[in-house]
Every structure is written in C-alpha cells, then in structure tokens.
Amino acid sequence: MTKVITRFAPSPTGVLHIGSVRTALYSWLYARQNNGKFILRIEDTDKERSKKEFEENIIDGLNWLGLNHDEFFRQSDRAVFYKERIIELIAKGAVYVSKEEPKELGERAEVIRFKNPNKVVTFRDEVRGDISFDTTEFGDFVIAKDFDTPLYNFAVVVDDFDMGVTHIIRGDDAISNTPRQILIQEALGAPRPIYTHLPMILAPDKSKLSKRHGALAVTEYREEGYLPEAILNFVALMGWNPGNDQELLSMDEMVKLFSLEKVQKGGAVWNIDKLKWFNKHYMKLLSQENAGKEILARFPDALREKAKANSKIFEKIISVILDHISAFGDARAFAEAGEYDYFFEDPTYNRESLLWKDESDASVASQKLQKVLALIDNIDEAFFVPETIKTAIWDYATEAGRGSVLWPMRYALSGRDKSPDPFTLASILGKEVTIRRIKDAIKLLLI
RNA sequence: GGCUCUAUCGUCUAGUGGUUAGGACGAAAGCUUCUCAAGCUUUAAACCGGAGUUCGAUUCUCCGUAGAGUCACCA
C-alpha cells in the first residue's frame, strides 16, 4: 500500500475563504487519518493575478486553523520542471507549438497546444461514481503560453505527478478540468490519482459562494472573534457527517471518523447562524484568561484602559459578556453601544426608567429601594455574592411585588433597561458601589 | 446553448423496498429570579413531479422539472 499523499492547491488570487477551508480540511483529515502527507501548493502560474499578500493570507489562515502541511511548493519556483515536460511531450509528439492569430490584447502569436486524441475519458469519482466526458469538444487546448509559462491544467498534472499525489480532493467546479488533466497524465505516463470532488458551499441564493456574498475570508472571521475549532467543526459538517447525530467534533474525532464515502453529493448553503452556535459552544470552553484576552482586544481603547485599571471587575464580567455574544467581535459592538460602561463608572439615570411599569408613585418606589438598601447593608462584605444577595432580598421582593423591587434595583445599578440580573450586578460592583448607586437612585426619585 | 453534476423540514443533514421519516441550527410557545441573554421543556416544519419495477416506493429505473458548475493564451 503506497502512502497517501493529498494536497491543497489554492491560487493566490484572493484571500483564503470558507469554501477553500473545507477543501483543505478534508484533504488534511484524509492525510492525517492515513498517516499520509499533506502538501500545500501555491498555484501562482498566473503572474498577473497572483499576489504575494494573498499567498500570505492563505498560509496565515491555514496556520491559524491548525491545518499544518508537511511539504510546501510554489509553482513559480518550478518553471524548469514544466519546461522539461513540455520538451519531453513535444518529442513524443503529444504536444506542439502552434502559430496563432492573437484575438485579444496580450495573446501570443505562438502557444503550446496539447494534441487532443479526441476520445471519451471516463474516471471514477469517490463521491459521484463514474463520470464520462467526450474530450473532442476541448479541441487542442493550450497548455502553456510558452516554454516558461505553463497554464493551470498542465502545471497541476506535472506537480501531482512529481509530488506523488495519490488523492485529489477538490471542489466540484474542477470536475470539467479533470478529463483534460487525465489526457495530459496519460501523455506523460503518470498514474491516475483517486479523485474526490466536493460539492460546493453555496450562497443563500444557491449560487457559488463568492466575494460578493459578504465576509468570507478566514482572516475576517478570526477578526470577528470566531474560533478555529468552531469554523473547522462547522465547515466539516457541510458536506460530511459521521453517520450519526453527533455534531460537536474535535479535530481528533474528525480524523478518526472522516470518510470519503460519507461525503455529500449536493451543495450546502452557508449558514452563519449555525456557525454562531458552534462558536458559542467553543467560546465557553475557553479559559477565562484567554476569553478575557479576546474580549479586551476588541474593546475600544478607552474602555480597555478602564478594564485594565479595574481588572478585578473585568474578570468578573467576562462570563457575563460571554453569555450575550456569539463571537468575540460582538463585544466590540456592545462596548461601543456603552453596554459595559456601568461596570466601571456610575451611570446616569433616566428618572422615568427607574419606575417599574406597574408603579406610578415615585415615593413608593423610593421606599422599596430604601428597604432593599437596608437588607443589603446587613450583608457581610465577605459574603457579597449573588446567592446571598438574592436570599437577603427575595422574600421581601416576593411580598412587595418582584418587578416593583427588582426592576428599580437593577436599573439603579446599571442605568440600563437591559442588563444582567440585579444580584449578579451587585456582586460584581461590590457592596460599596451598590449602596452608593441605590442611594443615588433614591435621591433622584425624591426630587 | 453544449457538456457535467445535483435534488429529504427555511438551512445543515440521518435514514429505509414496509419507519409515528430521526437529529441539529433557526422559528414559535411555556418554564426558570424584574429586563436582556443563557438554560430546560414543548410545538410547527421535508421525501420536486410523472411514469415504470414491485404486494408495497422517499428509497430502484426512466423521463421531466428545477438548480448549480463549466465551457480562456484564469485557476
């Protein structure tokens, strides 16, 4: 049994996007599962469109995801090999230099064409079964602009041959390239690898996912605070499943369970909501320290300084923040909306908002807060935690009307219509601040 | 248009020649400490159509229909 060798072969003409990630993941999983090799090959034969920054973005994204490669190649470094093969094929009569009449700007008067044997090519695809093409329709297709400028279909075949690639796992938009590549393989005497064409990841309108459908770059997801585990787990399940109901899968589990036979035939629509669900799950698994770092990195400068200056408070609100976001980037939006300010400085109140909806009498409301104040004041500072605070107030709140007690208390502490519950808030803020804010609220009510 | 591929809840999917067609996301409702979120419970929601094979087809075959991909001196 020969060693399994897979490859991921992006062209650096754009950033690493989510569809490519899945292709890379499946290739990686398959290689790892079989103790094989995973090759990263940058296909930059198009000198016009290939950009170094895209190559960097792709490598950066792959590293971040942990899809490490065993070997690395760049087609622009391999010009001599392509040239050799072209010469070899010309000698064999499989390829010829063709005189052309340039129709467009930039077209050559001389290109290298493949002498099409005009036959039916049938190949087996691991997910779709046999696929046949009559290659006659391709004509004598161009494989290189000149001896030093090979084109995609040719470079791919030479590379896969030279690198010993055994399994080609790629998007099904490459299906129609396969017969051309097989023709070249046969001319070269190269073995035919095992083909697996993955269904596309689709936009909501079912078309091929592309830049115009919004944020797709992996680096953007990283920026937005999505975790690699979440992206990988989600993307793995778009077009594959372990054959049971298990959805939360670690990389180790995926390496064990992955199989080409369970790969889906139909395309899958990209669904950001489900990604968010995965991300929430994996965010909660993060250590408090790491979660804190991610959040802090997305705070506006001013808030970040306050959070650093009040690290005790910041540590306590991490889990509160985590409860309300589905990606760390959401914390930035909340922060910018001022949702976290009250943890670090006293809020300003809107007198109307201090009153529970069923309460119209400010003096009654203030009396209730007075009572809360007294109950809180009895709590020993060392036991100022949510459970204790709740116990201290609960009976009274139930008796006086929970909403009419808890709403003003919570609003006094946060100055917000929406916030965590008053007991959690009080414990985060501490006894001293809690009492001060309630007193402030009472003052305002008595005006 | 030619060629190639695809078709189960809105979405990701499981599944079988006979099932109450299962799970997840999302949605709705209820519960849980006032709000928000989380959590829990429950509900709604699907086999593209037509023939054929068969005692019986969502499942097998064919034909439609719909959608997608691809038709470069791009990859």
Q: Which helix (H) or strand (E) holds A9?
A: none
Alpha-carbon span A412 to A349, nearest angstrom: 8
Backbone angles phi, psi at A106, to 5 degrees: 90, -10
| Distance CA A31 to C1' B56 in A | 45
Nearest by Cα to A413 from A320, A275, A294, A293: A320
pLDDT value at A63 more than 80? yes
pLDDT value at A215 more than 80? no
Alpha-carbon span A52 to A151, nearest angstrom: 19
Neighbours of A446 (CB within 10 A): 10
* pTM, full prediction: 0.94
Tokens of A87: 């010469």
Smallest CA–C1' distance to B13, residue: A241
| Distance CA A357 to C1' B24 in A | 39
Alpha-carbon span A226 to A383, nearest angstrom: 37
Tens of pLDDT, residues A318-360:
999 999 999 999 999 999 999 999 999 999 988 888 888 877 7
Tens of pLDDT, residues A109-129:
999 999 999 999 999 999 999
Least confident piece of the model among A20-29, A202-211, A327-336, A383-392? A202-211
Smallest CA–C1' distance to B69, residue: A173
End-to-end Cα separation, chain A, in angstroms: 87
Instruction: List Cβ neighbours of A299 (8 Å cut-off, separation of 6 or more).
Output: A307, A331, A332, A335, A340
Chain B: positions less than 7 Å from a protein CB are 2-8, 10-15, 22-26, 33-39, 67-75
Alpha-carbon span A102 to A174, nearest angstrom: 27
- Closest nucleotide to A143, Cα to C1': B73
Per-residue confidence (pLDDT) for residue A385, from 0 to 100? 93
| Distance CA A325 to C1' B31 in A | 23
| Distance CA A172 to C1' B18 in A | 36
CA atoms within 13 A on the CB side of A249: 24
Tokens of A352: 């109307």
| Distance CA A20 to C1' B49 in A | 35
3 state DSSP class of A74: strand
Alpha-carbon span A258 to A124, nearest angstrom: 20
| Distance CA A137 to C1' B71 in A | 9
| Distance CA A244 to C1' B56 in A | 28
**SS3 per-residue string spanning A323-360:** HHCCCHHHHHHHHHCCCCHHHCCCCCCCHHHHCCCCCC
Per-residue confidence (pLDDT) for residue A309, from 0 to 100? 95
Mean per-residue pLDDT, A51-75 = 97
Tens of pLDDT, residues A243-291:
888 999 999 999 999 999 999 999 999 999 999 999 999 999 999 999 9
- Closest nucleotide to A403, Cα to C1': B34
- Closest nucleotide to A106, Cα to C1': B73
How sure is the predictor about A214, in pLDDT bands with cuts at 50, 70 and 90? low
- Closest nucleotide to A142, Cα to C1': B73
- Closest nucleotide to A234, Cα to C1': B12
Q: Report the mean per-residue pLDDT for chain A.
A: 94
Tens of pLDDT, residues A237-255:
999 999 888 999 999 999 9
| Distance CA A418 to C1' B35 in A | 5
Tokens of A13: 């003409």
- Closest nucleotide to A48, Cα to C1': B74
Neighbours of A265 (CB within 10 A): 13
Amino acid at position A292, single letter: G
Smallest CA–C1' distance to B22, residue: A245
Alpha-carbon span A411 to A230, nearest angstrom: 36
